[in-house]
Structure 1
Amino acid sequence: MNYDGTLDWMLDEALGMPETLHAVLLTRDGLLRAHSQGITRDEAERQAAALCGVVSISRNTAGFCGYAEDEASPPWRQTLIEFDDAFVLAIAAGEGSYLAVSASERVDLEACSFRMQQLVERLGKAMTSPSRQGAGNPA
């Protein structure tokens, strides 16, 4: 799936609350699907790749919470990264997609998470990204 910018405006809408900074929509393998204004495409692609790793690590810690290691899809819902003066929230956004938002330390985290969930519900299938077929196979 290639980046085409068609969902960018919806991410801008998600940032319509105070203290949010940037938003990116990415696939499970780190490809950029969309990004908000105010972040360049190159930076959004770099963040998408990094956030893919963060979500993967988060999902793989399910055993630490008592879930079976062989469970096909651990019940991960959200990851929060906290800095001295900023946050990053990442949530599931359909099969194979994730939505991440950065915000200042003054953001209402509960409201931000709720707004992100609303956006995911509204987009539904538009944010679903199937697994890449033939990845790693010679053509």
Structure 2
Amino acid sequence: MNDHMANERGWMLDEVLKVPEARHAILLSADGMLRAHSQGIGRDEAERQAAALSGLQSISRSTVEFCTIQDSPWRQTLVEFADGYVFLVAAGPGAYLAVSAGQAVDMEAVSYRMQKLVDRLGKELTAPPRQDVGTPT
């Protein structure tokens, strides 16, 4: 996939970055494939982060019993660093939206914009399960 194809939806992700201190946004599939990235992050870095964030989501989801007795669906993971945050939210079946932000970001504003983007785009942000890429057509 060339960068133009990977970034077909990139402009939509740029909307989330209008919050001051928001840095980068990527859309990824559950299996860690990059679906789109915001303008300020290169494709190689976005692909590396998509793979890492897929693992983070999987680990987060596996801790549900620590929070509740019932099987509760995963909604969001927030990671805090000394210099900022990474927000990771569900963006439809098999798709996740991740945003990085600086330390002074309005966390509520980022979460709100992310959810509004997911709501507004609906089907646009769904990523179907990855097909076997080795099968000849």
Using structure 2 for the length normalisation, give the TM-score. Answer: 0.90
Aligned residue for 1:28?
30
What residue in structure 2 maps to residue 128 of structure 1? Answer: 126
Compute the displacement of 1:47 (Å): 0.2
Residue of structure 1 equivalent to 2:87: 89
1:32-85: CA deviation from partner (whole Å, max 9, x where unpaired): 0000011100000000000000000001110111244xx4xx411100000001
Amino acid at match of 1:130: P
Q: Which moved more, 1:23-32 or 1:123-132?
A: 123-132
Question: Does the Cα contact within 8 Å between 1:27 and 1:129 map onto a contact in 2?
Answer: yes
Instruction: Give SS of 1:12's match.
Output: helix
- Which structure: greater helix fraction? 2
What is the CA–CA distance in structure 1 between the aligned matches of 2:2 and 2:55, rounded to whole Å?
A: 20
Matched residue of 1:58: which SS? Answer: helix
Once the two structures are TM-superposed, the CA of residue 138 in structure 1 deviates from its matched residue by 6.9
Moved more, 52-61 or 2-11: 2-11
Identity rate, percent: 60
Deviation at 1:13, TM superposition (A): 1.3
* SS class of match (2:18): coil
Quote the residue 1:9 is aligned against. Answer: 11
Letter in 1 for 2:63: T
Displacement of 1:133 after TM fit?
3.7
Runs of 4+ in 1 over 4 A off after TM superposition: none
Structure 2 equivalent of residue 49 of structure 1: 51
Do the aligned partners of residues 109 and 16 (structure 1) sit closer, same or farther apart at CA in structure 2, a change above 3 Å counting?
Answer: same
Q: Is the 8 A contact 1:2 1:33 kept in 2?
A: no
85-94 vs 126-135, greater mean Cα deviation: 126-135
Q: Count the aligned residue pairs.
A: 134
SS of the residue aligned with 2:14? helix
Amino acid of the residue matched to residue 29 of structure 2? Answer: T
Single out whichever of 3-12 and 42-51 deviates more from structure 2. 3-12
| TM-score, structure 1 normalization | 0.89
In structure 2, the residue matched to 1:98 is 96
